[in-house]
Structure 1
Amino acid sequence: MGTDLNIVLRVKELKHEASECLSIVFEKPQGLTFKAGDWLDIRFPVPEFPVGRTYSFASAPTESDLMITFTKGVSPFKKALEKVQPGETMLITQYGSNGFLLDRRSPAVFIAGGIGIAPFRSMIKEQIDSHRPLAITLLFSNHRNDFPFRAELEAWQHTSPSFKTIFVVTSEEGRLTSKKIQMELERSGIEHFTTPRYYIAGSPQMVQNCEHHLFALRIEKNRIKTDSFEGY
């Protein structure tokens, strides 16, 4: 469910998060409110790009700026994003929620594939800024040992003992399987797999595969939330 409007975003900076991953930081428009896990549609205010693209908020509602994070690509839109400069403007044409929101009543297991880390970064940062106990285990898989936000995630582990991150380099360790998920969760101290709520974000195929792996671990469907990212 989204809200239709045209909100001007002014670019503050372009940040390199990893070799193939960039973030654009925008000034936060006055009065704009959103929830961690929400999405936004953005476009360039030029006729060459009449249609925008959808991204998750990578920034938390508690932060003073807005941020999106994306992987480099071959499409004209992605190429244009890679070249934005401070002071340039874009438009939010719509934003809202698809229900991919953190339920604080239960411990959480986040399973991120690559750029699927974006909404989780928003959720984790909000919990830290709000001084809430995290009780979050992040299982972060990436093709290479070049993880976006790794320094932040490792720093947050030191300040929040109930937050744990497990990095999985799939080019070296293979893709996630039900056996590997079970092994990593046990290693992180989770013994009863049906207790947490599970959140999966990444490419459609990754999300589908991980959901089936959780089913194999007897996790009920109503304890799983998913967010598929198209256009990798």
Structure 2
Amino acid sequence: MASTFDATFTSIHQMTPRVKQYLLQVDGHTFSYQPGQHTVISFEQDGDTVKRPYTPVNLPGTDTLALAIKRYEDGTASTWMAERSVGDPLTLTELTGNLHLRDPERDVVFLSTGTGITPMIAMLKQYLREGTGQVAFLYGERTQEDIMFRETLDHLSADHDTLQVLYSLSHEEWSGPTGHVQTHLDEALGDAFDDPHYYICGIPPMVVDTEERLQDRGVEEGRIFTEGWESEAV
């Protein structure tokens, strides 16, 4: 069983109309994990224990985790989190999971939708610190106001010639790409990438469809990384 920690909300910030970022601090503890892995929060509600996995967007080595969580109208945990205040307590676990950077010397492609962006942000930060190749970051959302971490990504792409960022919107006409983000793989990669590793996170149909598209392109299974449960959910 994973170790649990008593954390405290130290900051709550509204990122988009439906997403808040939470800073959770565990006094006296230094988090050690691979960027892209997730923690599990737990709380009591109506006599039941509710548990949900969330991925921090910050790098390890401090006593704080930064979580970005979207509120859903029928979401038990996301609604509960949206009602928290600075100073409130929360129980969370040590971090685990299949999504983490395998080889910083390989070209990489990060592809995500919605809050599936959170492990990608953490891995991107690690890759830009340690990686030596080309990196593409493809992110799909509904509208421009829903895009999470847009300022961060725009700043990083301005600072790093090796980073290319593509946003695709499914519910808004604009000057950029539209439709499902995975349909833009060809235009994003071109001939600039040398047998990259692919990291994918988002709603299960997108993950499965992306895997199938990559396999049709001749990408071996060993170069595609997801959490691993998505096929069963489709």
- Normalising by structure 1, report the TM-score: 0.85
Structure 2's unaligned 5+ residue stretches are: none
Cα distance in structure 2, aligned partners of 1:6 and 1:59: 19
- Shift in alpha-carbon separation, 1:51–1:110, aligned structure 2, 3 A: same
Question: Which aligned pairs between 1:131-150 and structure 2 lie closer than 5 A?
Answer: 132-133=131-132, 135-146=134-145, 147-150=147-150
Question: Which aligned pairs between 1:20-169 and structure 2 lie closer than 5 A?
Answer: 20-29=18-27, 30-44=29-43, 48-61=47-60, 65-73=64-72, 74-128=74-128, 130=129, 132-133=131-132, 135-146=134-145, 147-169=147-169
DSSP 3-state at the match of 2:215: helix
- Shift in alpha-carbon separation, 1:201–1:91, aligned structure 2, 3 A: same
Cα distance in structure 2, aligned partners of 1:229 and 1:150: 28
Question: Which aligned pairs between 1:3-18 and structure 2 lie closer than 5 A?
Answer: 4-18=2-16
User: Aligned-pair distance for 1:47?
Assistant: 6.7
Equivalence for 1:183: 187
Equivalence for 1:197: 197
Is the Cα–Cα contact under 8 Å of residues 157 and 165 in structure 2 kept in the other structure? Answer: yes
Aligned residues: CA RMSD: 2.5
Cα distance in structure 1, aligned partners of 2:167 and 2:62: 25
Is the Cα–Cα contact under 8 Å of residues 112 and 201 in structure 1 kept in the other structure? Answer: yes
Cα distance in structure 2, aligned partners of 1:14 and 1:38: 21
Letter in 1 for 2:54: Y
Is the Cα–Cα contact under 8 Å of residues 36 and 119 in structure 1 kept in the other structure? Answer: yes
Letter in 2 for 1:175: H
Q: Please say if 1:174 is aligned against 2:172.
A: no
Identity %: 20
- Normalising by structure 2, report the TM-score: 0.84
Cα distance in structure 2, aligned partners of 1:207 and 1:57: 20
DSSP 3-state at the match of 1:155: helix
Cα distance in structure 2, aligned partners of 1:218 and 1:192: 17
Is the Cα–Cα contact under 8 Å of residues 199 and 225 in structure 1 kept in the other structure? Answer: yes
Number of residue-to-residue matches in the alignment? 223
Cα distance in structure 1, aligned partners of 2:193 and 2:218: 8
Deviation per CA, 1:20-79: give whole Å up to 9, x if none.
Answer: 222211125423211101111111267745131111122222566311122111233221
